[in-house]
Structure 1
């Protein structure tokens, strides 16, 4: 536990209200104050859920019903500003919506509490007058448990949000190493924030995608004299990973035969790879445990219809190359709902628009990650691994 400082902090925050309740014993006034604090936490959590839901519906999805109408009535200058700086949604608009909802919910809960719950506490205090001190202390501690639970959830939410901002790599490692944080985040925070991506990819772990650089052997005839190292991705070189075959090429060409524009072809390939390939949790864990004997790359992924991020990216490259589409593999980090993890995705060159666009077929099950503004929020680019 002491090797997990985040877990230690969370446990101390949970224990503190319980110990305080035991020390000060049960009293109506103390309990009212504690319950008020718990209600504030509940109001915050409820407001957070609703705020995130409605903000996403209006500013990110906005493709149905009243949300579409609201979005269309927002001034174009404001929409352009938001599209160019998508972080504004998360650091300004979402907190504002949450604050407004929180104020309303907290007012209503307090009003109801003064009419119903608080008189009940006064009645309980009268019934406990003749009870022993130890009994009152135990009751006082028990009544603090809801507040302790709220503390845990709220603090975990804050830690999760700070993780998204990626303050430092050390901070991310501390969160990754905390079993308690990851459990609360998976069971409470992710459902609360309604993160479809995090719900679908809960088991992606750090280092499930590994890059190993080795000195080239003098006996290796495939290595040029000027090349001093060989880079392996999950046990294969990049050239081996993106290697295709006749079956893949024929299928890829046939898949986009009715499309002419590069963007349309790339989108079809993205949709197919992202929806037909299933993320392989078992393989991710094998790589995590340094088992690099697993089969990686376009061919085994096409055959098995399963793989991890590197496999998705390799298959996407192979299918794009079959259609003469310029494509890259990007290595960096992606946010999986709990913390930042090693990740690989693609970029496609759209000739008509003279630009490279980001494409992440692995994350398709969590939303549209084809040239999406959300890339700047949950992807951190580190380097271009290869370009074809």
Structure 2
């Protein structure tokens, strides 16, 4: 395996805190820890204030029985404009964080002053022992920040179309060892399954809010539409993708075979689409893995599975979000794919969700019925 930027950054994050600790010594390190504690506590309070603010405003938007005129006025503005959120959330969070700082101030002061007193006492420890103790204290930080970096790489890989980045991760011995021994077992544990709940719920809230904006606001408010999706894969998906494209001569043939297989084997989930339209998000799952397992999904699931299978066979593929327009002029939010064909040096669109309805693989009139807003990955 090669030494590349992922390996270099990971090793730097692991080694640099240890070297800094040896250079500082225990008293200076504890003094630095005092400011770190204050900074971490401030950041936590700020995040809590943002979370509470968003939850309160979201509850206000979803409440249909408001009797207080001022709150009703705020509710209508939040429904009609994303800019109202951009103003209301920071202001409310700032006021709430100030209140939380007042309440938590004595506790933070107790923590920092305790560390300060311990630091004064450690000045009497011999320098050699002081540096060894500092090294020991620095190990958890070094390991944690290295794991966070490698976890970001692990999460970001499915969202990046760059084959160079994927090859870099594959050839990094530090990333491969950590991913196999630590990250994947951690993400597969029962404990980790409790962590994404807040993030998924937040995504659902944003989706509900954007739908409210599309309903009550100006026509261009649909540009704020977002769709929760995941691009994670597994060995079953990867193996199936490889078997589908076996013998394919070029990228176009690979992409077309995957497009046809997904279109033929995945059934559109009308119940899921109705649940989303009704605002019932909590029990739903999204992405490539559940779609492959259940053989059902909505447009974002079709395109997510196309991304996962495409990446498994070396395609540079993305999901594109936008609006589908039918011949009668009706339409709505939709998701499809774009694939970069390296051997042809061109990017083509395809829509596996509509594969049963006609030719939507590199159709010359594709963008007459598909109006893109952004690429998700």
Q: TM-score, normalised by structure 1?
A: 0.47
Q: TM-score, normalised by structure 2?
A: 0.48
